[in-house]
Amino acid sequence: MKTIGILGGMSWESTLEYYRLLNQGIRAALGGQHSARIALYSVDFAQIEQLQHEGHWEATAEILAHAAQGIQAAGADFLLIATNTMHKVADQVQAQIDIPVLHIADATADSLEQQGIRTAGLLGTRFTMEQDFYRKRLEQRGIQVLVPDAQERALVHEVIYNELCQGIIEPASRARYQAVISGLAARGAEGVILGCTEIPLLLRQQDTPVPLFDTTAIHARSAVARALG
């Protein structure tokens, strides 16, 4: 079994889900008392969040690259950056380490292709929805990406940072997200990517008839396959 490196803490609420899913995946595959070999480095998200909103992405890349080097030194065979948004600096992180970064958008594209989805809605932070670092990776695979309108993007972003990253789950916010998803489906989305690792804390498949793609679960499944491959 390979050792999975996790660069987490962005936020720790979703890193907790990664840890659970990775260990459950290994146990399901191997049985008995097996659990995942994991090297975890968890950053202080307050520092990252401030730099994100100030637009200081190079500074975030330096923090994550330093953490990734520590994960590599701890014996990890490959790396998960346990957040969608910070894949904006995935290339900078990869340049500073020798082990491969398992990119969350690539794993998501694989899952979309397996289910025949060619047009997908994307929910996430404002950075993920509005910038092209994530969308372009999907579009290069022939997947059309739809995002909510400006008002809806602001709503989705605010719920992530002000509620989900702090462990707050509000039924009213779930209803608002359901309305956003319905709007994306009406525009032609065949499925919707939960492109922030906290969103699955709020929304489950039973909450909407539109197929959802939980990037936390997808990333974890891909890591389990890599660890056992």
Catalytic residue among 15, 60, 83, 216: 83
Distances, alpha carbon 45 to alpha carbons 9, 18, 41, 99, 192, in Å: 6, 16, 12, 24, 26
Instruction: Give residue 13's identity as a one-letter amino acid code.
Output: E
Active-site entry in 165, 196, 197, 215: 196
Nearest residue to 181 (alpha-carbon basis) of 161, 204, 165, 198: 204
Whether 83 is catalytic is yes
- For residue 111, cis peptide bond before it (omega within 30 degrees of 0): no
Measured CA to CA, the distance from residue 202 to residue 144 in angstroms comes to 25
Q: Are 76 and 87 in contact (CB under 8 A)?
A: no
Residue found by looking up tokens 């939960």 in the block: 194
* Dist. CA 18–CA 16, nearest whole Å: 5
Active site residue 3: no
Give the three-class secondary structure for 210: coil
Long-range residue pairs from 93-101, CB within 8 A, at least 24 positions apart, any chain: 93/7, 93/61, 93/64, 93/65, 93/68, 95/65, 96/65, 96/68, 96/69, 97/65, 97/68, 97/69, 97/71, 97/72, 98/72, 99/5, 99/72, 101/68
Tell me the catalytic residues: 83, 196
